[in-house]
Amino acid sequence: MVTQIPVRSNPVRSNPVHSDPVRSAPLLGTAVRGTPDRNASAPHLSGLGLFTVLLGAALPLIDFFIVNVALPSIEHDLAAGPALLELVVGGYGVAYAVLLVLGGRVGDSLGRRRLFLLGMAAFGVTSLACGLAPNAWTLVAARVAQGAAAALMLPQVLATIQATTEGPRRARAMSLYGATGGLSMVAGQILGGVLVAADLAGTGWRAVFLVNVPVVLLGLILAVRTVPDTRAGRPAAVDVPGTLLLALSLISLLLPLTEGRAAGWPLWTWISLGVFPVAAVAFYYTERRADRKGLTPLVPPSLLRLESLRRGLVLVVPFSVGFGGFMFVLAVTLQQGLDMGPVAAGLALAPMAVAFFGASLAGPRLVTRFGSRIVTAGGVIQAVGLALLLATLRHGWPDLGPAALAPGIALAGLGQGFQLPVLVRLMLSDVPNDRAGAGSGVMITAQQSAVALGVATLGSLFLALVPTSGMRVAVSVALLVQLGLITLTVLLSLRLPRMR
């Protein structure tokens, strides 16, 4: 059995942060008051331009999960053992998470359109390298490079939206970004299953990477024509000590959690986990000292003093941990526990994608009426869906198909769709244009690191229980743990600003 751990109006108001050097607009979905971009007179992002940057946002997130269903074929074709298969997934995720904040900072300085084009082109080249990889180690190296390319491209999406839209247009764009993020994670597994089953021109698993190439070519053509260039008004030098310490912190946490189970938890994994708290504390104090000296740290502590960003991050971490673990556990359960093929497993996830997208589109109107309490309601709906799915799996096992699972999966997706887009808008609502890249990089790094952490922790718990207790018990325990995380997010959401 091959298992794997991947590493994927009247708006909400936040209280002003007095004595904070970051001063910005307090309204969600309104123009951000901060240092203007150099090209403040640049044209607004058009509808086609928004589609283009959202396409760029979808590609890295889809590839976070698309290889899950292809791993058995990769193992057979390239004679890759479990540890190498973990690196195929984990190498991408670690490189992606480590470089996201740096990608946002470089985009602020050199121009977000330039970095978007460079990142998308590199993503296409590295996808081609993955699809043509002759052996497992080459595939691992190409996946690491692909994750680095994604980290250049993705932070520019939110930064560009924030710098080129305002008011209701920004609210709609942020909702569509949130919908794109959630849909991409679900669609990755659906698309992967379809491509592996189709075996296009005998390409087998390679199609999950090669399909990116024509999409990237289309995206580059559109981006050249439709994406305006923006950059920070006061570009800052790269914070080398902060970058190295952030990289050390994330690698020392994510790499052992990703590789530890497959490698048998050797000594290096425990040493690495011991390094993590030391590196994280050193990173915090280094950034605080740089901020006090008037330098520009990679993650300015002043950003974290913004109430909207801080409270949003506290909530999005447990949400993303649960989401990542849920997607992994469900993928393994559908294919290995319920004996569904890749296409049937994809169909089982389709109701989640449809419900998530519908909730995301309805989000702006609901926020206007109910304010941030829509996040609380979303958590409750997600919990009901998860409880229904748990009951279905407990009582119908193993004679279950996509139709029987659809109600619980759809409700879970509906609840998630009411939460994530609103949280994205809330977290960036007070970040000034001048720091849009850094702010989006911090948010995406926290979200994607939490997704990887959820897959590693909930995935390890699930896989540890399978041999001794069976898959039905293992998936039940994993879903109960996620219900606990959802309860935590519901309680935390009550502390969000109660604005309507």
CA 465 to chain centre: 27
pLDDT of residue 76: 80
Residues 136/142, Cβ–Cβ less than 8 Å: no
| Mean model confidence pLDDT for the chain | 80
Q: What confidence tier does 62 reach under pLDDT thresholds 50, 70, 90?
A: confident
- What is the per-residue pLDDT across 24-46, written as a single tens digit (0 to 9) for each? 333 333 333 333 444 445 457 88
pLDDT of residue 27: 33
User: Across residues 235-247, what is the average pLDDT?
Assistant: 79
pLDDT of residue 94: 79
pTM for the model: 0.74
pLDDT of 231 higher than 70: yes
pLDDT of 239 higher than 60: yes
pLDDT of residue 182: 67
Picking from 104, 31, 60, 76, the residue whose alpha carbon sits closest to that of residue 303 is 104
- What is the per-residue pLDDT across 101-145, written as a single tens digit (0 to 9) for each? 788 878 878 888 999 999 999 999 999 999 999 998 999 899 999
Distance (Å, rounded) from C-alpha 487 to C-alpha 414?
16
Coil/strand/helix, residue 27: strand
Nearest-5° angle of CA 392, CA 394, CA 397? 85
pLDDT of residue 117: 95
CA 275 to chain centre: 25
Q: What confidence tier does 437 reach under pLDDT thresholds 50, 70, 90?
A: low
| Owner of token pair 């502590």 | 301
* Token pair belonging to 78: 């390239």
Question: Higher pLDDT residue, 1 or 160?
Answer: 160
- What is the per-residue pLDDT across 312-352, written as a single tens digit (0 to 9) for each? 888 888 988 888 888 878 877 887 788 887 778 777 888 88
Q: Which residue stretches of 111-166 are H helix? A: 112-131, 136-164
User: Across residues 447-474, what is the average pLDDT?
Assistant: 83
% of residues, the chain, pLDDT over 70: 87
Distance (Å, rounded) from C-alpha 422 to C-alpha 371?
9
* Token pair belonging to 209: 């990477």
pLDDT of 23 higher than 50: no
- What is the per-residue pLDDT across 183-210, written as a single tens digit (0 to 9) for each? 786 777 778 878 887 777 788 889 989 9
* Of the candidate ranges 224-238, 251-265, 408-422, 478-492, the one whose mean pLDDT is the lowest: 224-238
Question: Higher pLDDT residue, 17 or 358?
Answer: 358
Question: Higher pLDDT residue, 150 or 439?
Answer: 150
pLDDT of residue 38: 42
Coil/strand/helix, residue 13: strand
Q: What confidence tier does 158 reach under pLDDT thresholds 50, 70, 90?
A: confident
Picking from 156, 18, 144, 131, the residue whose alpha carbon sits closest to that of residue 74 is 131
Please enumerate, as own/partner, the contacts of 73-82 that have beta carbons within 8 Å and a separation of 24 or more: 73/196, 73/204, 73/205, 74/136, 74/139, 74/205, 75/2, 77/204, 77/205, 78/133, 78/135, 78/136, 78/139, 79/136, 80/136, 80/139, 82/2, 82/3, 82/262
Residues 404/433, Cβ–Cβ less than 8 Å: no
Q: At what angle do helices 267-292 and 240-263 cross, to 10 degrees?
A: 160
User: Across residues 420-439, what is the average pLDDT?
Assistant: 73
pLDDT of residue 4: 40
Distance (Å, rounded) from C-alpha 191 to C-alpha 164?
32
